[in-house]
């Protein structure tokens, strides 16, 4: 039996732990419970209305209430009881929570102390030291309710985020949220298996996002259930998506890539996936590291293909997350073939390749009218890790071409020597970009004759791509000015 290769390792499932929370978001059921509000400031009516809207019986104590508070009690007598006197300890009896809208510091401290002594969670408006909980900005699409907290430090920012979310979720979205709540029992009892039910709710969510202002109706529900009932068992398998993670900067992800990450049950991700990209995935999604790096310990491609097919055949939505674009030197053909052989549907979501990001970061182009009429992508090693024997050296030497060389750091000097021997102008501009689009992006600029030696002395680690060709000639002063103005 052959010993396992020291360069092969199995896929490894990872668990990203949640970062620290300044405060814990919770949703408190107040229906039918007593909420005590002690008045004394202009925020009393709003806090009482918020509690009443949540179904609480508001016991509002204020010796001299303002007009807004009086009107609220008159408009909502079944939920708000206004008591016109000073606070008494007995007012805390039976209260589930207590809110003190009290401007005086001593009154606020006394109110909090009494509440805590009685085991009642307390909030004293605008006095964090006396608060067991806080109110955040609220997006109300009830039963979908979104709370936004800045830990009391930046209310205007919370309000801005609320406005953004409200724009994404029009008021009509409330009907979809209510329909989801009302329909859950019907879907659960429909006879659909777990994979079909999962598919139902994905279709429901997609429809809600596409038509938020249209009222959902039972006819749609029954049509979706009937559609799923007729799907043959062998076609109920999951789905494989080959998703481009881009060169590293999470902001370079496409909207479609983000959507697939958020819908994924399992994510098989590469070494080259940038920090922050996986943050778009659901916390519940399984994340399995299947990294492949030239000359380093990596997962075998056949094992990656097998794992992707196995997980998808169990009914999961699997994302194979690849650095850059999945169709450029990512062995996508092997994974597509494995999925097709197993009858697993495949979707391809393009990403921004490293060469594109490298050129953008340098403010240069890869093509130029009258200078570069052809753009080509090549890899610097074959299946064995050696310099490919089938490279078209004449095309690399072509003065009218721009060449993007991937995975070529260790062989750059040898490649350039060979290309120059085949006719490449030694003075051809060359740029080797490491960690393109990331904060650690580093650029080594030289000519073809010297770029290999210069890169060999560079100590910065990370993936690199070589850009080679006359299109890289530029007016550095103009480019620096343009990039500076963009940064400002």
Task: Considering the candidates 47, 292, 322, 411, report the single residue annotated as catalytic.
Answer: 292
3-state SS string for the chain: CCCCCCCECCCEEECCCCCCCCCCCCCCCCCCCEEEEECCCCCHHHHHHHHHHCCCEEEEECCCCCHHHHHHHHHCCCCEEEECCCCCHHHHCCEEEEEECCCCHHHHHHHHHHHHHCCCCEEECCCHHHCCCCCCEEEEECCEEEEECCCCCCHHHHHHHHHHHHHHCCCCHHHHHHHHHHHHHHHHCCCCCHHHHHHHHHHHHHHHHHCCCCCCCHHHHHHHHHHHHCCCHHHCCCEEEEEECECCCHHHCCHHHHHHHHHCCEEEECCCCCCCCHHHCCCCCEEEECCCCCCCCECCHHHHHHHHHHHHHCCCEEEEEECECCCCCCCHHHHHHHHHHCCCCEEEECCCCHHHHHHHHHCCCCCECCCECEEEEEECCCCCCCCCCCCCHHHHHCCCEEEEEECCHHHHHHHHHHHHHCCCCCCCEEEEEECCCCCCCEEEEEECCCHHHHHHCCCCCCCEEEEECHHHCCCHHHHHHHHHHHHC
Q: What angle do the packed helices 194-210 and 218-229 form, to 10 degrees?
A: 140
* 411 is known as an active-site residue: no
* 292 is known as an active-site residue: yes
Question: Tokens 């059921």 appear where?
Answer: 29
Task: Considering the candidates 91, 249, 265, 270, report the single residue annotated as catalytic.
Answer: 270
Catalytic residues: 270, 292
């Amino acid at each position: 039996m052959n010993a396992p290769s020291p360069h092969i390792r199995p896929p490894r499932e990872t668990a990203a732990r949640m970062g620290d929370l300044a405060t814990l978001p919770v949703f408190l059921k107040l229906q039918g419970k007593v909420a005590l509000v002690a008045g004394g400031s202009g925020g009393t009516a709003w806090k009482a209305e918020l509690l009443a809207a949540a179904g609480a019986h508001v016991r509002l104590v204020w010796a001299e209430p303002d007009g807004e508070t009086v009107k609220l009690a008159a408009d909502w007598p079944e939920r708000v009881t206004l008591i016109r006197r000073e606070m008494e300890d007995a007012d805390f009896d039976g209260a589930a929570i207590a809110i003190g809208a009290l401007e005086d510091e001593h009154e606020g401290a006394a109110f909090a102390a009494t509440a805590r002594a009685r085991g009642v969670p307390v909030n004293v408006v605008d006095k964090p030291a006396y608060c067991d909980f806080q109110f955040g900005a609220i997006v109300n699409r009830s039963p979908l309710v979104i709370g936004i907290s800045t830990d009391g430090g930046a209310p205007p920012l919370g309000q801005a985020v609320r406005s953004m979310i409200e724009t994404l979720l029009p008021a009509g979205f409330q009907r979809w949220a209510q329909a989801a709540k009302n329909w859950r029992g019907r879907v659960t009892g429909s006879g659909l298996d777990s994979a079909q039910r999962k598919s139902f709710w994905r279709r429901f969510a997609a429809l809600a996002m596409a038509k938020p202002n249209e009222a959902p109706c039972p006819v749609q529900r029954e049509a979706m259930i009937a559609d799923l009932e007729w799907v043959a068992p062998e076609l109920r398998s999951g789905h494989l998506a080959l998703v481009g993670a881009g060169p590293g900067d999470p902001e370079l992800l496409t909207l479609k890539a983000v959507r697939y990450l958020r819908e994924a049950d399992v994510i098989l991700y590469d070494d080259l996936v940038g920090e922050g990209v996986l943050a778009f995935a659901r916390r519940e999604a399984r994340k399995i590291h299947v990294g492949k790096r030239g000359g380093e310990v990596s997962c075998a491609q056949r094992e990656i293909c097998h794992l992707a097919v196995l997980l998808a055949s169990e009914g999961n939505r699997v994302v194979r997350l690849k650095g850059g674009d999945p169709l450029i030197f990512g062995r996508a053909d092997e994974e597509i073939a494995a999925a097709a052989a197993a009858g697993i549907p495949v979707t391809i979501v393009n990403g921004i390749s490293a060469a594109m990001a490298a050129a953008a970061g340098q403010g240069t182009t890869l093509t130029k009218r009258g200078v570069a009429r052809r753009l080509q992508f090549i890899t610097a090693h074959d299946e064995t890790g050696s310099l490919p024997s089938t490279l078209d050296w004449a095309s690399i030497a072509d003065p009218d071409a721009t060449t993007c060389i991937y995975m070529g750091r260790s062989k750059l000097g040898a490649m350039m020597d060979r290309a120059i021997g085949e006719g490449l102008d030694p003075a051809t501009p060359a740029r080797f970009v490491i960690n393109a689009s990331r904060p650690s992006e580093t650029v080594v600029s030289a000519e073809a004759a010297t770029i290999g030696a210069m890169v060999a002395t560079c100590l910065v680690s990370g993936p690199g791509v070589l850009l080679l060709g006359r299109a890289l000639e530029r007016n550095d002063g103009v480019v620096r000015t343009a990039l500076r103005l963009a940064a400002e």
